[in-house]
Amino acid sequence: MPVLQNLENKIKLCLTISTLVIIACVVVSLGSIVIARGMVADANKKIYVLDGNVPVLVRQTEQDVNLSIEAKSDIELFHHLFFTLSPDDKYIQYTIKKALYLVDESGAAQYNALKEKGFYNNVIGTSTVCSIFCDSIKFDEKSMKFIYYGRQRIERRTSILYRSLVTAGKLKRIPRSPNNPHGLLIINWRTLKNQDIEEQAKTDF
């Protein structure tokens, strides 16, 4: 009898240990799943943007919290890429390609219209350098509509021309990507005003 009782105690001990091990495994497994899901959610809030050949980590915040900031940054980035030109065909193609990731077919239509008019060939042929400066951006979070106010600086061999630029459009939410880090697409983009302000003759050419 003592032998049987001893055996029963050992069996009970084994069962207790086995149960504890199983419970511990379940707890560890559930904990791992929770931690893994947290890591995935955290990773989804991080994107990498290439600065040259160096990947730079950009922390993604909740879009609704900083919508106005992100929207204005997206709009300004697009205009900078679209209107910053140098007399280099490869550079023009590079910046326009990046700009067109941020806009719908309305941007491509304006690019094609300028191309057909020989605008880009003229930039290259006359060694013109174009740059743009943002004065202000009006953005309505409810309608997602915006108006962009900027100034163009067009430097030619003999003169520098300043132009006033006003454009309008609307933003549409899309998934974030390396080509569109803000997850916002400009739609129905159009030019409201593009006229000369002043032209200055260069004296050092």
Domain ranges for the chain, please list them: 64-201
Cβ proximity of 166 and 192 under 8 Å: yes
Compute the distance between CA of residue 70 and CA of residue 74 in angstroms, rounded to an integer.
Answer: 6
The residue behind tokens 């202000």 is 136
Whole-number pLDDT of residue 165: 96
Is a pLDDT exceeding 70 seen at residue 47?
no
Compute the distance between CA of residue 25 and CA of residue 5 in angstroms, rounded to an integer.
Answer: 30
Q: Per-residue pLDDT averaged across 88-97, rounded?
A: 95
Q: Per-residue pLDDT averaged across 89-113, rounded?
A: 96
Q: Per-residue pLDDT averaged across 100-121, rounded?
A: 95
Cβ proximity of 114 and 139 under 8 Å: no
Whole-number pLDDT of residue 38: 65
Q: Per-residue pLDDT averaged across 127-153, rounded?
A: 95
CATH class assigned to 64-201:
alpha beta
Closest residue by Cα to residue 128 from 154, 90, 159: 154
Q: How many residues appear in the chain?
A: 205
Compute the distance between CA of residue 145 and CA of residue 27 in angstroms, rounded to an integer.
Answer: 50
Whole-number pLDDT of residue 46: 53
The contacts of residue 180 (CB under 8 Å, 6+ apart) are 101, 102, 174
Whole-number pLDDT of residue 183: 92
pTM over 0.75: no
Confidence grade of residue 189 (pLDDT, cut at 50, 70, 90)? very high
User: Higher-confidence residue: 195 or 5?
Assistant: 195
SS3 content of the chain, % helix, strand, coil (to 5): 45, 35, 20
Q: What percent of the chain has pLDDT above 70?
A: 78
Is a pLDDT exceeding 80 seen at residue 10?
no
The string of DSSP codes covering 2-28 is: HHHHHHHHHHHHHHHHHHHHHHHHHHH
**Beta-strand relationship, 46-51 and 54-59:** antiparallel
Is a pLDDT exceeding 90 seen at residue 109?
yes
Confidence grade of residue 51 (pLDDT, cut at 50, 70, 90)? very low
The residue behind tokens 């006229």 is 195
Compute the distance between CA of residue 22 and CA of residue 18 in angstroms, rounded to an integer.
Answer: 6
Is a pLDDT exceeding 90 seen at residue 105?
yes
Closest residue by Cα to residue 166 from 140, 186, 190: 190
DSSP state for residue 178 in the 8-state scheme: T
Query: Ranked by mean pLDDT, which of 14-23, 25-34, 129-138, 194-203 comes out on top?
Result: 129-138
